[in-house]
Homo-oligomer: A and B are copies of this chain.
Amino acid sequence: MAKELASRSEDYAQWYQDLVIKADLAEHSAVKGCMVIKPYGYSIWEKMQAALDKMFKDTGHSNAYFPLFIPKSFLELEEGHAEGFAKECAVVTHYRLKADPSRPGKLMVDPDSKLTDELIVRPTSETIIWNTYKGWIQSYRDLPLLINQWANVVRWEMRTRLFLRTTEFLWQEGHTAHATREEAIIETEKMLDVYADFAENWLAVPVIKGIKTANERFAGAVETYCIEALMQDGKALQAGTSHFLGQNFAKAFDVKFTSKEGKLDYVWATSWGVSTRLMGALIMSHSDDNGLVLPPKLAPIQVVIVPIFKTEEEHQAIIARAEELVKSFRAKGVSVKFDDRDTHRPGWKFAEYEMRGVPIRLGIGPKDLEKGAVELARRDTMEKNSVPFDGLEDRIVQLLDEIQQNLYTRALARRTDTAHHVTTWAEFEAALDKGGFVYAHWDGTSETEQRIKEKTKATIRCIPLHNPKEDGVCILSGKPSTQRVVFARAY
């Protein structure tokens, strides 16, 4: 199977596309730009959801559900927001089909069912949610309001890539309301920390926490915070964003509250989201030319046991041993599969589980039984070792931790090794071509940022939080600068 993947060095984009398909994660659907998330891919997404959902609830948030549709007139109310999303909206204009009189057996849109205020399929839910919050918030006693929604959203994309950029995607969107500016900023930063924690400790993907420049800000936000990850090809990927919305949406939807002091004021807002795009970040951070590599915490199957035998007597002896192992692993909370299918040979199964990124593979043959051992293969390093049955369950638990840690350490080392601190334009261009995060001085203007983007396709990924101050001059304009920002080409 491994041969079926393009190699990363040869054609990274093709390798990614091949991998998503061959590892059975997702595929393009018949609807342009929309994907089908296949059961194996979806089971990884479910693990992400469960971990994030717990983190949201542990920080005091509740889930709720708001309509899929947004009246077009709502989108108009927050100007920046409308500008950002109007160009990529799926628009519902009619609510009925009818038999097409000119084509027997075919359907046509019934012109009599035209809507007067067209409905937009939500690209994000700030407008419909703040319209709802107007009815929920009267007094400081109703605040903070800490709500999250798991939902599908639609942004009409012309060029799509599985998980990374699709017309419909799955995500969560938090929408919170606060009595003060300070409290809303604390919330924005807290949720960025939750995302960073999740990225590093579950995805095993190191991230830089930072703030977006005005150019890259969410449409309608006062400030957009982000976590930025580095993929193996040296390109950056924005893995999550948390927005401080100020009073923009409260003003657009007239949401006021009476403070403890009896003063009427607009409510302060945040919103924050991560999406199935994280699947792309996960895949591109760790996987190799043999297929997917999964961090154990998100692996639907953590350990697979493959029997290798010639005679039925050997087979039965292996089954007995494998069933003991399965039991002892499960007792330790390890998810394990014993693949005893007789439809495929061991070599085929080895390739299959390599492709699917199962962290640990155990092979058991008659010689292993004699020795009282198994052949243990680590997916992350591809190392193989003979390991005794005695204490195997504890070794497995420890090894899963080691693999989780190793993936993170490896990704962090890659990021560190490829980071560039540059001073001149020539150095900057050379660094971009090598890939990796490029720390460079910038004069702080949108114009310069835009010119850099046009010249190099690189964007400012973020201004890191707690960024050290350092005097310098802008790589492009030569104007003075007080800090370096992080540039990269990005997904």
Which of A74, A75, A89, A131 neighbours the largest number of chain B CB atoms within 10 Å of its CB? A89
Stretch binding the partner chain, chosen from A3-11, A113-121, A206-214, A435-443: A113-121
0/1 per residue, A49-92, Cβ < 8 Å to B?
Answer: 00000000000001111111111101110010010001111111
A132 within 8 A of B: yes
Q: Which of B69, B97, B141 contacts A75 (CB under 8 A)?
A: B97
Stretch binding the partner chain, chosen from A35-43, A373-381, A424-432: A35-43
Contacts of A90 in B (CB 8 A): 69, 92, 94-95, 119
Stretch binding the partner chain, chosen from A26-34, A187-195, A243-251, A306-314: A26-34
Assembled-state Cα–Cα distance A132/B37 (Å): 11
- Given A86-B107, A118-B109, A343-B141, check contact A65 B93 (CB 8 Å): no
Contacts of A141 in B (CB 8 A): 343
A345 within 8 A of B: no
Assembled-state Cα–Cα distance A452/B452 (Å): 75
Q: Is the CB of B65 within 8 A of A86?
A: no
Query: What is the total number of copies of this protein in its complex?
Result: 2
Assembled-state Cα–Cα distance A95/B65 (Å): 24
A16 within 8 A of B: no
- Given A29-B128, A95-B156, A106-B76, check contact A36 B65 (CB 8 Å): yes
Assembled-state Cα–Cα distance A159/B168 (Å): 29
Q: Is the CB of A30 within 8 A of B92?
A: no
- Chain B residue at smallest Cβ distance from A343: B141
Q: Is the CB of B96 within 8 A of A76?
A: no
Q: Is the CB of B98 within 8 A of A68?
A: no
Which of A62, A70, A95, A98 neighbours the largest number of chain B CB atoms within 10 Å of its CB? A95
Q: Which of B29, B66, B107 contacts A72 (CB under 8 A)?
A: B107
Q: Which of B76, B91, B97 contacts A109 (CB under 8 A)?
A: B91
Q: Is the CB of A132 within 8 A of B91?
A: no
Contacts of A43 in B (CB 8 A): 62-63
Contacts of A79 in B (CB 8 A): 105
Q: Is the CB of A31 within 8 A of B88?
A: no
Q: Is the CB of A38 within 8 A of B67?
A: no
Q: Is the CB of B38 within 8 A of A76?
A: no
Q: Is the CB of A91 within 8 A of B86?
A: no
Q: Is the CB of B168 within 8 A of A107?
A: no
Contacts of A34 in B (CB 8 A): 67-69
- Given A43-B62, A107-B75, check contact A88 B95 (CB 8 Å): yes
Q: Is the CB of B91 within 8 A of A63?
A: no
Q: Which of B91, B95, B120, B170 contacts A89 (CB under 8 A)?
A: B95
Nearest-Cβ distance from residue A31 to partner chain B, whole angstroms: 5
Nearest-Cβ distance from residue A55 to partner chain B, whole angstroms: 16
Q: Is the CB of B30 within 8 A of A74?
A: yes
From residue 148 to 165 of chain A, which have CB atoms closer than 8 A to chain B?
151-152, 154, 156
Q: Is the CB of A92 within 8 A of B121?
A: yes
Q: Is the CB of A96 within 8 A of B107?
A: no
Contacts of A227 in B (CB 8 A): none
Nearest-Cβ distance from residue A75 to partner chain B, whole angstroms: 6
Contacts of A339 in B (CB 8 A): none
Q: Is the CB of A132 within 8 A of B39?
A: no
Q: Is the CB of B107 within 8 A of A68?
A: no
A304 within 8 A of B: no
A233 within 8 A of B: no
Assembled-state Cα–Cα distance A215/B120 (Å): 35
A147 within 8 A of B: yes
Q: Which of B29, B97, B170 contacts A132 (CB under 8 A)?
A: B29
Contacts of A87 in B (CB 8 A): 96-98
Q: Is the CB of B93 within 8 A of A109?
A: yes
Q: Is the CB of B156 within 8 A of A67?
A: no
Q: Is the CB of A72 within 8 A of B97?
A: yes
Contacts of A147 in B (CB 8 A): 39
Assembled-state Cα–Cα distance A45/B94 (Å): 30
Using A38-B64, A89-B97, A91-B93 as known contacts, list a sample of 9 further A-B pairs with CB atoms less than 8 Å apart, ordered by residue number in A.
A29-B66, A37-B64, A37-B65, A39-B64, A75-B107, A86-B98, A87-B98, A88-B96, A92-B93
